[in-house]
Structure 1
């Protein structure tokens, strides 16, 4: 009797701690693949392949794929299921800590795909945005509410830090909605497919993106208050008015351009303060 029994391809139970909900609807899978439109020479990366529902058609289309999987019990299942695809590279690890730059090929940018666990989707998106220059596009299955936040425009109640920082780097498109019945086990919420395409040249450039993140985080720390109150630790009402900002507005009304302008001004103020303190 073998000491290494053949992995059970059907017996793996979804794990709550990994936020696993396995996609099984062939119609939805087909729509996702059509949206991605994978080509032979693409540098494809799948995050959280699970039982391989999207992995299989991606491999059929291109013959090669990098996957990043945290659940070590799924890895032998994937190796067995796709043993006849030598182009499948499995990386065991946490996508939140994974260095995606190691997967880039000369002259190619990454195309990243994933049915992302709801519990890590926001920090993972921020992690991937740090690699934006290496990425051609990203297609993700996310909680519908998260996709609505990603794609929200100023004045919308869903508009916030996630919308602004994602849209600073990427064009965001909500492609279609996916119901709970397309998964096993079914989640308690609706999902959606989003496409995020990083800009080759940023349409608006902040002098310091860390300062932009700081300003946006402060602005939305108390989103029911006016911008003059939420940003008072960083910039005065008079200084905001000098930038052409109506200080009575709430944070969700200001545009990305407004926030970049504020962040650049706050950076200049902090540099001036440092210079003055240094000469005393």
Structure 2
């Protein structure tokens, strides 16, 4: 692939970037190669790509996969994508907001489904939450995101990066960091570094809990005000004080601890103890 193919396509169509859509297109061919290889794509895979831009990554995906369904919000990019990728019979395009798409409708009867995306920074967390909470049958999500968000996703307890997003992703997925990506790999250059990570969907969640909704409610409450003790944070859920005290005792968790110190197993144990007493 030519090094400047993204730049050439942008210039060819005189495309104007829309700042509000967080558009930063990849111009480094090695990063494109690393994404496709890191996602471990083969000719049995049905790929959903969010935010294809001018289609340079899409083209590499089309060469490796059975089929690529691209979801692009910017209608100005639709004619460019259709023209640039017209030779690929395994390409399909949807002009929609990925946050409003019914992924089950797209996936249909497909068995080996992988998602690949160079996600705009402003929409990273909502997209990840939608994809994981929606219980869609993805094998993996290979995404390029802001480095800081990638560090939060992979964070361990007792670190400042560790939070509700870490636990959401680690509950559903194994995490593999593919590579870091410098601002110079994009046009226009973003102000921050990026990272490519792969989230492999687990057959079963990392911890088995009796009430998943309660588990995530406890997690969110524990991180809503990070400096609060677990006792004060969980009182905000309206749980009876005696019940909360008993649950913390049964879970063998000190109420003076902060949420950021608890492992995913401890959150699971606490959730089950509270659930039993409610």
Give me the TM-score of the superposition, normalised by structure 2: 0.90
Q: Does 1:267 align with 2:270?
A: no
1:147-192 deviation per Cα after TM superposition (whole angstroms, max 9, x unaligned): 0011101111100000001111111122211000000010000000
Which of residues 232, 249, 254 is equivalent to 1:246?
A: 254
What secondary structure, in the 3-state scheme, does the structure 2 residue paired with 1:113 have?
A: strand
Q: Return the offset for 1:25.
A: 0.6
Q: Return the offset for 1:64.
A: 2.2
- Aligned residues: CA RMSD: 1.7
Q: Return the offset for 1:193.
A: 0.4
Match of 1:94 in 2: 97
Match of 2:188 in 1: 185
Q: Return the offset for 1:133.
A: 4.7
Match of 1:208 in 2: 211
- Count of paired positions: 264
Match of 1:27 in 2: 30
CA distance in 2, matches of 1:107, 1:57: 21
Q: Indicate if the aligned counterparts of 1:156 and 1:252 stay in contact, CA closer than 8 A.
A: yes
1:6-44 deviation per Cα after TM superposition (whole angstroms, max 9, x unaligned): x97441122111111111111111111111232111011
What secondary structure, in the 3-state scheme, does the structure 1 residue paired with 2:275 have?
A: helix
Q: Does 1:79 align with 2:87?
A: no
What secondary structure, in the 3-state scheme, does the structure 1 residue paired with 2:171 have?
A: helix
Q: Which runs of 5+ in 1 are unaligned?
A: 1-6, 271-280
What secondary structure, in the 3-state scheme, does the structure 1 residue paired with 2:17 have?
A: coil
Match of 2:107 in 1: 104
Q: Does 1:172 align with 2:182?
A: no
Q: Return the offset for 1:129.
A: 0.2
Q: Return the offset for 1:132.
A: 3.7
Match of 1:11 in 2: 14
Give me the TM-score of the superposition, normalised by structure 1: 0.89
CA distance in 1, matches of 2:12, 2:80: 6
Q: Return the offset for 1:214.
A: 1.0
Q: Indicate if the aligned counterparts of 2:42 and 2:66 stay in contact, CA closer than 8 A.
A: no
